[in-house]
Structure 1
Amino acid sequence: MELFGDVGGAGMEDGDVFHDQFHPFQGHGNGPIQNATPADTPLADTQPNMQYAPQTAYSVSHTFHAGFVANGQTPDTILVTPDHILFHAHTMYLSVTSQNGFNGLVDPAAAGPVTPGVPMIISVPEDAILFNVVIHTIYHLSCCEYNPPLDILLSAVNVLKRYGIHPQDVVVPTMPLYEHILLEAPRKPLDVFIVAAENRLEDLAVATSAHLHSLQLPDITDEMAERIGSLYLKRLIQLHVDRANDLKRALLDTPKTHLDTVDCGYVEQKNLERAWALAAANLLLTVQPGTSSLVVIFRTRELTMVCLDEDLPVSVLRSSLGSVERQLRCEDCKASLHARVRQIILQWTTMTRRTI
């Protein structure tokens, strides 16, 4: 019996296998009749074995099986993928959910005569792993247990449109596909943002933009820009510009001065202002809209570990601005410096704009 080696990603039952049977047929009338070979006939004199066509195995979806009930109705349609996986579904549900009769596949006029009690068989062009995501989304079910890759999830968004399902209706917060894509977004945030933008999925685009702080804007190709569209591309660029401006405004405020002491007066405290201005200028020159945190690493020469999810990690701020301390001898100046660095870090992590 032929079984599929990898049907887990499509949610298949290994035990549910069907075969197209090939039955040998003995001719009648004037056709040749095959006689049985006597038991004592030498092996070399026996007739060659008849060659039968190989059997085709069909696996049934673990979720969309013959007993799958939706709205009190049992399935009346079987959707078959090219890799021989069967998905049992409901014609009425697909018709109501789709805006184009499920790409015309469940249109009664196109389907032809239907025998009562016999499921309608429909072939779909998608392979089982992709169609498994599509059909789960249509029925508002989660497919997380099958762990489909992010590329499959994003492809499913476009396939849904082919079947007359608007992504704005099923890729929204609280819907399984939205939650699944958002969970995987940090792996390929730009790919997710492109799909969200071209389908006007506002919530997904906004949420994903939080992972694009380290994106280098020149890496966006013409094809990507065309798919993103002018509106979302402008908002993405503006996000980078605004974050850079927020940092500039924060760095303009120098650490507060303290009352003059015997060891640290007006002249000595000017050293803190000059050192701060130099460190801030160096940081602002390296951190521009659309640059990555790696550029900051090589310019500051202070950092050994960073988090690449941010365009300016907190560790870079602390290292760059904290380097000023080496030029100070006054403990009051050092305390003022530490307080200002903490304020900037708090502002950067909690108040700076993070999404489009």
Structure 2
Amino acid sequence: MAASNPQYQNSSVHDSISSIFNPGFVVDGLLPDLEIVSPDGVHFYVHTRQLLASSSNIFGASSSMRCTDTEAALDALIKYGLSIAQLAAPARPLYELVRSYAPYYPIEAYALATHYRLEDLAVTISAHLLAYDVTRLSDELTVKMGPVYFARLVNLQRSRITALRNIVLRPPVMHPATPTCNADNQRELSRAWAFANAEIVWNVLPSEHLITHDYRGPTAFATPQNLTTGHRYLDVCAGIGILAICHVR
């Protein structure tokens, strides 16, 4: 089975055309952008976006598609004076193609996008690099992405750790003494909070989205029930997608 772009099809071809998937087949107001020809000569006009949405692995792209092929095509486009930035704008086919590499080849896709200064693509792909160990980055890829985008990748990971540290290392706010939680209770809770969250900050990775940590201290009053008196028991940093939960027992 072969595939081609409908606008480049040879008008002299007289093979049969699918009665449903024909050149006028409209989905979401869009005409087909891909022509697939079966071995028996039947032409199917389909939509790339619909096909990609139906497959869990981009129809085997993880084993057959590589960024190097796309890079060669991009170099050819530049050679003939075409604007990569315009062709790879969000929602354009080239943008979707490079973005499709991200789940399988995240660092290669990021280097490809940054090499051609495709900002929107680089930002989108970087979400797949939160767990990437930058110490494994090859010299070749480092040079390809350049110092600016390499620094941005490193700073992305560091900023997530810093944001979490700024959240969880703040002790619970003190409140007026109550019959069930006096000043001594609150100071003990603050110590338990500090011990528990120090371990969280030490062990957390930039890719963590849900952090659960158990701290079993000697105190009996530092419990979730007493924390309902006004202490901050759960803190959410929605801006960077981190949910930190500390169970104090």
| Structure-1 separation of matches of 2:156 and 2:5 | 44
Query: Which amino acid is the alignment partner of residue 11 of structure 2?
Result: G
* Deviation digits for residues 167-203 of structure 1 (CA, Å, limit 9, x no counterpart): 3231221211212332442232212101101111111
1:328 touches 1:334 (CA, 8 Å); kept in 2? no
SS at match of 1:254: coil
Q: Please, which runs of 5 or more residues in structure 2 have no aligned partner?
A: 13-46, 53-58, 244-249
Query: Alignment partner for residue 280 of structure 1, among 171, 182, 197?
Result: 197
Q: Is the 8 A contact 2:114 2:145 kept in 1?
A: yes
Please state whether the residue corresponding to 1:261 is helix, strand or coil. coil
Alpha-carbon distance in 2 for matches of 1:196, 1:172: 12
1:100-115 alignment, distance < 5 Å: none
Q: CA offsets, 1:31-62, max 9 Å, x none?
A: xxxxxxxxxxxxxxxxxxxxxxxxxxxxxx58
1:238 aligns with 2:155: yes
Aligned to 2:227: 334
CA contact (8 A) 2:164 2:237 kept: no
Structure 1 unaligned residues grouped into runs of 5+: 1-7, 12-60, 69-140, 288-292, 294-309, 352-356
* Distance in 1 of aligned mates of 2:179 and 2:229: 18
* Change over 3 Å in CA distance of 1:190–1:224 after alignment to 2: same
Distance of 1:206 and 1:276 partners within structure 2: 35
Query: Is the 1:258–1:332 contact (alpha carbons within 8 Å) kept by the matching residues of 2?
Result: no
Corresponding residue to 2:65 among 124, 129, 152? 152
- Cα deviations across residues 138-160 of structure 1 (Å, max 9, x unaligned)? xxx94874847266363224323
Q: Distance in 2 between matches of 1:326 and 1:348?
A: 34
DSSP-derived class of the 1:174 partner = coil
Contact 2:106 2:128 in 1 (8 A): yes
The question of 1:256 aligning with 2:170 is answered no
- In our comparison, the structure showing a higher alpha carbon Rg is 1
**Kept after mapping to 1: 8 A contact 2:192/2:215:** no
Partner of residue 134, structure 1: none
Tell whether the 8 Å contact from 1:153 to 1:181 is kept in structure 2 after alignment.
Answer: no
Structure 1 residues 336 and 343, CA gap change in structure 2 (3 angstroms): farther
The two structures have a TM-score, normalised by structure 2, of 0.65
Q: Report the Cα distance in structure 1 between the residues aligned to 2:174 and 2:203, rounded to whole angstroms.
A: 27
Q: Which residues in structure 2 correspond to 1:1-356 (within 5 Å)? A: 8=1, 10-11=2-3, 63=6, 64-67=8-11, 142=48, 145=51, 147=59, 149=61, 152=65, 154=67, 155-163=69-77, 164=80, 165-287=82-204, 293=205, 311-314=207-210, 316=211, 319-320=212-213, 323=215, 327-329=219-221, 333-335=226-228, 340-346=232-238, 348-349=240-241
- Whether the 8 Å contact between 1:198 and 1:229 is mirrored in structure 2 is yes
Q: CA deviation at 1:261?
A: 3.2
Report the AA paired with residue 73 of structure 2. V
* Alpha-carbon RMSD: 3.4
TM-score, with length taken from structure 1: 0.47
Give me the whole-angstrom Cα distance separating, in 1, the residues matched to 2:65 and 2:106.
Answer: 15
- Once residues 99 and 219 of structure 2 are traced to their aligned partners in structure 1, the CA distance between those partners, rounded to angstroms, is 46
Paired residue total = 197
Identity %: 24
